[in-house]
Structures are given as structure tokens and as C-alpha cells.
């Protein structure tokens, strides 16, 4: 009987992409996916240490799986991802029914660990480095039109709120040749949009430069090379660090036909004092200057950001500095987070943690301001025509959800097939999406 696997992913895009790799490995071993835990021979929990309550979520899930494991000892339970890397032996001490704990660097060894678990009992591999870069593994892609392509893992920075350097280690980049081969292969399978992934994506390649020579990132060159791959019509990337958003990257974005006019430009805080405490290497005025340069070089570019509210020691004055930058930057959208300590980070042990009710009150004020700005930015698009890529069905019968190059979601009343490119005129706007009507379809309309 065919054996099945189930993967549950908690976390960021890097985790989602790792899950595609895990799925690819299990597929290559003759297994097939299922959504039903009762059917699965292997269950993988791919964990995230970045999100709040990650531990509770993992141990809650493991608790639910225990009765299943008791009934079916042949079931193999795997814990992968950042929490596996961070908690290591603790996981099997707390949940001895876990068969394999596999760290973020050790994914290529998954099948071997499963085989060994069969014979020898619980296994753990959380070694820091492996010969095979995780993204050189086969992948079971969740989407046949858009794909993530990992270009680097790890990060050389030390932002005090972030667990990434601890769980993913220093930056390791893939070679340009390997990345291009993957993008070409994706294009040959009909993928038209790729998102280049790295924890600090614009320092891609800094670790590849010849020892002894200047350590220069190769991200601008990578963008130009990917831009030349036939069949790829949209290139996105995430997440860059403002400090590393150099002129050559801006020039490459402006000059590459297929690089989309959207930048995620994480602010984190508008207060210089808080930025210093976060160990972010830019300051508010510098950030706004870069933003102005980006906007003048790339007409129509949309900018999104990340903002943390209530970082330890944040005063009302600091928070007002954040509101001031948000008002001046006029972001198209923002991911706003209430600070909560991540065990293992420097910020978690800082004094002056801000009380929850104060964080909530500031968060609500920030959200109100950003919603107003997002709405204004979206309203300015009404009456204009954009190319969209159809991502799938909308919520209403016969409707469609699509996305502009600037990463705005557009709802359409027409039933267009996923993967279709169309030109649409924007007829209405809300803070989070646009509504549009189809002007022309570039590829087949399915009725
Ligand atoms: S640059 Fe990004 S990934 Fe690196 S430490 Fe800072 S927040 Fe974390």
C-alpha cells in the first residue's frame, strides 16, 4: 500500500519553502501527500521560532498526536525547522514519542534519519552545516504558477529581537549558476513568477566573494541574471535590509523588465534610540532618504514594511517618532507586530519591557494611521489600468483574485484561469485590496 505523509508548517516563507523541500524528499522516496493524520505514515511538524507562542503550538500539536502514535507505533513523527534547531534534545525529553528531530541545516539527511529511526529508535540531527545546501533538494511545489527560490539562508546581522542568526546560522549563499538552473527549470514547467528568498536577501553572495577580495554582495547581478531567464515574467524578493539596499540594487530593479515594482523595506521603528537598541544599523532620516531615492528611481513602486510596537524601553516619545515616520513614508502596506520576547534573543532579557496594555494602545493607534494611509494610496489607483496575474478563484462564485506587479490584490468579477495575465482597470479601492474590471486578457479565458 502506498505510504503517505502529512506536513504541517508554522511560520515564514522560508519555512514554507523548506516544507516544499521536505515534501520533495518524501515524494522521491515513493510516498504521497495526505491531509489526514490518520492516513499518514510520516507526520512532519515544520516549526518556527519567530512567531509568538511557537513552543505552545508545537507541544500542543505533539500532545494531540500522542494517542495516534500509541495506537500506531509504525507512525513516524518528525519535528523540523527553527524550534528543532533551537530546542534540540529538549523536544524528545518533553515528547519522547517524537521519532526524528531535524535542524534547519540537516534536511538532506531526513530519509536516512527516518530509516535509522525504524531500526534504532529516536534520532536527532541538528548539526550546523551539511554539504548539500537545502535548496538543492527536490521540491514538491505548492504552486505551479509562482515559486519561491531560496538564494541564501542564515544572517550575519544581530538584530536583538531576532532568533534567525541563532537558528539559521551565518549567511550561506547558493551559487548564481545553481539558482539560475533552478529558475530555468521552473520556467520550463510553466512557472512565470519567482520570489527570491533570503533572510537578508540583498546581501546575497557576500559570502561567495573570493577570500581576500572586498566582500561585496552579488544581489544586483543576480537580479539581472534572473531577469534574463526566458518565461519568467515577474521577479520578487524578500526580505531586504534597508542598510544593504545599495544603489546597484536600485539600478538593477529600475533596469530589469521583470523585477516587480514592489519593495518590502522593513522599518521596525521610527525612533533612533529604539533602532540603536534593536541593533538596526540605520537611522530614521537615513531611512527616509533611501526611500525617496528608491521612489525617484522606480516610478510607481509600492513599498511595504514591518513595524514592531512596544520594543523594550520604547517610550511614548519613541512611539510618536514611529508614527511620524509612518506618516511621512506613506507605506502602501505594513505588517505591524506587538513586541513579544523570543527566548534566546538579547531583547528578551532587556529591562523595561513595555506593559501589554500600553503596547496594545500604541498598536491600535499605529494601525488606524496605516489603514488611512493604505486607503489613500489604494484610492489613488482608481481609474488606472494595470497588468495582473491571476492567482485563483475569488470568494464569490465566478470571481477571481489577481495581483498587480506592485503586489496589490485585485478582485475581479470575471472567471479567469489561474496563471492568466490580464490588463484590468481599477474601479474601487479599500485599504487592503482593489476591485477591477478586465480590459483585455493576454492568455486564454476559461469559462
Ligand atoms: S537582518 Fe533580519 S534576519 Fe538578520 S538578524 Fe536582523 S531581523 Fe533577523
pLDDT in tens, the chain (447 residues): 679 999 999 877 788 888 988 999 999 889 999 999 999 999 999 987 766 677 788 889 999 999 999 999 999 999 998 888 878 778 988 899 999 999 877 888 899 899 989 888 889 888 765 555 666 667 777 778 999 999 998 899 999 999 888 888 889 999 999 999 999 999 999 999 999 999 999 999 998 865 555 667 899 999 999 999 999 999 999 989 999 889 999 999 999 999 999 999 999 999 999 999 999 999 999 999 999 999 999 999 999 999 999 999 999 999 999 999 999 999 999 999 999 888 789 999 999 999 999 999 999 999 999 999 999 999 999 999 999 999 998 888 888 999 999 999 999 998 999 999 999 999 999 999 999 999 999 855 443
From 162, 242, 245, 307, the mutation candidate for ligand 1 (largest count of ligand atoms within 8 A of CB) is 162
In this structure, what are the phi and psi dihedrals at residue 18, rounded to the nearest 5 degrees? -60, -35
Does ligand 1 come within 6 angstroms of the Cβ of 98?
no
Domain 134-379 has CATH 3.80.30.20: yes
Buried b (16+ CB within 10 A) or exposed e, 219-245: bbbbbebbbebeebbbbbbbbbbbbbb
Q: How far, in Å, from the CA of 372 to the mean position of ligand 1?
A: 29
Element (DSSP H or E) covering residue 275: helix 272-278
Does ligand 1 come within 6 angstroms of the Cβ of 203?
no
Q: How far, in Å, from the CA of 12 to the mean position of ligand 1?
A: 13
3-state secondary structure at position 212: coil
Give the pLDDT of residue 447. 32
For the chain, domain boundaries:
4-125, 134-379, 385-441
Q: How far, in Å, from the CA of 29 to the mean position of ligand 1?
A: 35
Distance from C-alpha of 230 to C-alpha of 187, rounded to nearest angstrom: 7
Does ligand 1 come within 6 angstroms of the Cβ of 200?
yes
Report the alpha-carbon angle 22-28-29, nearest 5: 95
Q: Across the strands, what pairs with 437?
A: 425
Question: Nearest to residue 61, comparing CAs of 34, 43, 49?
Answer: 43
Give the pLDDT of residue 443. 57
Q: How far, in Å, from the CA of 269 to the mean position of ligand 1?
A: 14
Does ligand 1 come within 6 angstroms of the Cβ of 152?
no
Atom of ligand 1 lying closest to residue 279 CA: 6
State how far the alpha carbon of 113 is from the alpha carbons of 46, 99, 106, 319, in Å: 16, 9, 10, 48
Parallel, antiparallel, or unpaired: how do β-strands 421-429 and 434-441 relate? antiparallel
What is the residue whose three cell numbers read 538596526?
Answer: 280
Does ligand 1 come within 6 angstroms of the Cβ of 241?
yes
Residue nearest to atom 8 of ligand 1 (CA): 162
What's the CATH architecture for 385-441? Beta Barrel (2.40)
In this structure, what are the phi and psi dihedrals at residue 336, rounded to the nearest 5 degrees? -105, 135
Q: Please say whether the beta carbons of 339 and 359 come within 8 A.
A: yes
3-state secondary structure at position 208: coil
In this structure, what are the phi and psi dihedrals at residue 344, rounded to the nearest 5 degrees? 100, -15
Distance from C-alpha of 336 to C-alpha of 294, rounded to nearest angstrom: 22
Distance from C-alpha of 183 to C-alpha of 191, rounded to nearest angstrom: 9
Does ligand 1 come within 6 angstroms of the Cβ of 155?
yes
Question: Nearest to residue 105, comparing CAs of 18, 177, 192, 39?
Answer: 18
C-alpha R_g of the chain: 23
CATH of domain 4-125: 3.40.50.12160
Question: Nearest to residue 277, comparing CAs of 311, 303, 230?
Answer: 311
Atom of ligand 1 lying closest to residue 268 CA: 7
What is the residue whose three cell numbers read 499605529?
Answer: 366
Q: How far, in Å, from the CA of 115 to the mean position of ligand 1?
A: 35
Does ligand 1 come within 6 angstroms of the Cβ of 199?
yes
Q: How far, in Å, from the CA of 157 to the mean position of ligand 1?
A: 6
State how far the alpha carbon of 72 is from the alpha carbons of 30, 40, 45, 68, in Å: 21, 10, 18, 6
Give the pLDDT of residue 89. 79
Q: How far, in Å, from the CA of 241 to the mean position of ligand 1?
A: 8
Q: In what order do the strands lie in the sheet with 146-150?
A: 146-150, 193-197, 234-238
Give the pLDDT of residue 53. 72
Does ligand 1 come within 6 angstroms of the Cβ of 362?
no
Element (DSSP H or E) covering residue 47: strand 42-47
Amino acid at each position: 500500500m502506498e505510504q503517505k505523509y502529512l506536513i504541517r508548517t508554522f511560520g515564514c516563507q522560508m519555512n514554507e519553502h523548506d516544507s516544499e523541500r521536505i515534501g520533495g524528499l518524501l515524494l522521491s522516496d515513493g510516498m504521497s501527500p495526505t491531509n489526514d493524520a490518520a492516513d499518514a505514515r510520516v507526520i512532519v511538524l515544520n516549526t518556527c521560532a519567530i512567531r509568538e507562542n511557537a513552543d505552545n503550538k508545537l507541544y500542543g500539536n505533539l500532545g494531540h498526536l500522542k494517542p495516534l502514535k500509541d495506537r500506531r507505533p509504525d507512525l513516524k513523527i518528525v519535528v523540523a525547522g527553527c524550534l528543532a534547531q533551537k530546542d534540540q534534545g529538549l523536544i524528545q525529553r518533553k515528547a519522547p514519542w517524537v521519532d526524528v528531530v531535524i535542524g534547519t541545516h540537516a534536511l538532506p539527511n531526513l530519509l536516512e534519519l527516518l530509516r535509522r529511526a525504524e531500526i534504532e529508535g529516536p534520532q536527532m540531527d541538528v548539526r550546523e552545516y551539511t554539504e548539500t545546501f537545502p535548496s538543492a533538494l527536490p521540491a514538491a511545489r505548492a504552486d505551479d504558477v509562482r515559486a519561491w527560490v531560496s538564494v541564501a539562508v542564515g544572517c550575519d546581522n544581530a538584530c536583538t529581537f531576532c532568533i534567525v542568526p541563532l537558528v539559521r546560522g551565518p549567511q550561506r549563499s547558493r551559487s548564481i549558476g545553481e539558482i539560475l538552473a533552478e529558475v530555468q527549470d521552473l520556467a520550463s514547467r510553466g512557472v512565470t513568477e519567482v520570489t527570491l528568498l533570503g533572510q537578508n536577501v540583498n546581501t546575497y553572495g557576500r559570502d561567495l566573494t573570493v577570500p581576500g577580495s572586498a566582500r561585496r554582495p552579488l544581489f544586483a547581478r543576480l537580479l539581472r541574471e534572473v531577469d534574463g531567464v526566458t518565461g519568467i515574467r515577474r521577479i520578487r524578493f524578500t526580505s531586504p535590509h534597508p542598510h544593504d539596499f545599495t544603489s546597484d540594487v536600485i539600478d538593477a530593479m529600475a533596469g530589469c523588465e521583470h523585477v516587480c515594482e514592489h519593495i518590502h523595506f522593513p522599518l521596525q521603528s521610527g525612533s533612533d534610540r529604539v533602532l540603536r537598541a534593536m541593533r538596526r544599523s540605520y537611522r530614521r532620516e537615513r531611512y527616509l532618504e533611501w526611500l525617496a531615492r528608491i521612489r525617484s528611481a522606480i516610478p510607481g513602486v509600492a513599498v511595504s514594511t514591518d513595524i514592531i510596537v512596544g520594543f523594550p524601553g520604547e517610550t511614548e516619545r519613541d512611539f510618536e517618532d514611529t508614527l511620524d515616520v509612518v506618516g511621512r513614508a506613506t507605506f502602501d502596506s505594513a505588517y505591524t507586530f506587538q513586541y513579544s520576547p523570543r527566548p534566546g534573543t538579547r531583547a528578551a532579557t532587556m529591562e523595561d519591557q513595555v506593559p501589554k496594555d500600553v503596547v496594545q494602545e500604541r498598536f491600535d493607534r499605529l494601525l488606524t494611521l496605516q489603514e488611512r494611509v493604505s486607503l489613500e494610496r489604494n484610492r489613488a489607483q482608481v481609474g488606472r489600468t494595470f497588468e495582473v496575474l491571476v492567482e485563483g478563484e475569488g470568494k464569490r462564485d465566478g470571481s477571481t483574485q489577481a495581483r498587480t506587479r506592485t503586489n496589490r490584490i485585485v478582485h475581479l468579477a470575471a472567471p479567469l484561469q489561474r496563471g492568466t495575465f490580464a490588463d484590468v482597470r481599477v474601479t474601487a479601492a479599500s485599504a487592503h485590496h482593489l476591485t477591477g474590471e478586465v480590459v483585455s486578457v493576454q492568455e486564454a479565458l476559461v469559462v
